[in-house]
Amino acid sequence: MDAIERLAGQVAAHPGLRVRQGEVTAVSSYGVTVTIAGSSEAVSGVKYLGSYAPRVGAHVWLLTDGSDVFAIGHLAPRGVPALRVTGAATSVANATETALAMNAEVGTDPWGMWEGVTNPTRITVPLDGWYTFTGWVSFAANATGIRGVKVRQGGSTSLAVHRVSTASAGTTELTVVSGPVSLSATNYVELTVEQTSGGALDATPAFGVHYIGPAE
């Protein structure tokens, strides 16, 4: 049954329903916040139908009978925000932690977790809850110094680190995997690297995120 059929069924079953249109401004595991069209009124804690949740920015219909409010409209899968992005080779300065910019999504990004213009280094989570992150980096061949890769939250907090003290004479490939991490909607995470070869060195990344479930 699609959203329109659900709406028609609810209205027919509840003649006292009030219907208003609005835009989703926030999404959590338990409800959405909707700003009513043509006003600044925001309605929080709005439930959504079944196993689906509207995306931020979606235009939805709000239905209420005075005690219960829920939204239907443009729907996106709930409970499975997941994304993998990749980047081109980036020159990384010696002894300088560097957040790597990504330039392509693998598959689709229905939750809008990454955009490549304003903040191409960031994956921004859409829901409160638990997440895991996986990063992979290939450093250009150089046998001098350390190599490191880190999953970093909010520009400063380390979530996971993998560092080797002796680089390979060939390319050095490192993978870092975070354990479950509790994040709030709009928190962002980056993949950073460091190297001490004595000069600039290219690093080529891939970065992924998977939503595990609600925080509570």
Mean pLDDT computed over every residue of the chain: 83
Share of residues in the chain with pLDDT > 90 (%): 48
Give 79-97 pLDDT, tens digit per residue: 478 999 999 999 999 999 9
* Domain at 82-213, CATH class: mainly beta
Contacts of 13 (CB under 8 A, 6+ apart): none
Reported pTM: 0.68
pLDDT of residue 51: 45
Give 111-165 pLDDT, tens digit per residue: 889 999 999 999 999 888 899 999 999 999 999 999 999 999 999 999 999 999 8
Q: Specify the domain boundaries for CATH 2.40.50.140 within the chain.
A: 3-77
The Cα–Cα gap between 203 and 190 comes to 15
First vs last C-alpha separation in the chain: 30
pLDDT winner (highest mean) among 11-20, 90-99, 206-215: 90-99
Q: Specify the domain boundaries for CATH 2.60.120.40 within the chain.
A: 82-213
pLDDT of residue 95: 97
What is the rounded average pLDDT of the residues 52-57? 66
The Cα–Cα gap between 216 and 204 comes to 36
Does the domain spanning 3-77 belong to CATH 2.40.50.140?
yes
Contacts of 40 (CB under 8 A, 6+ apart): none
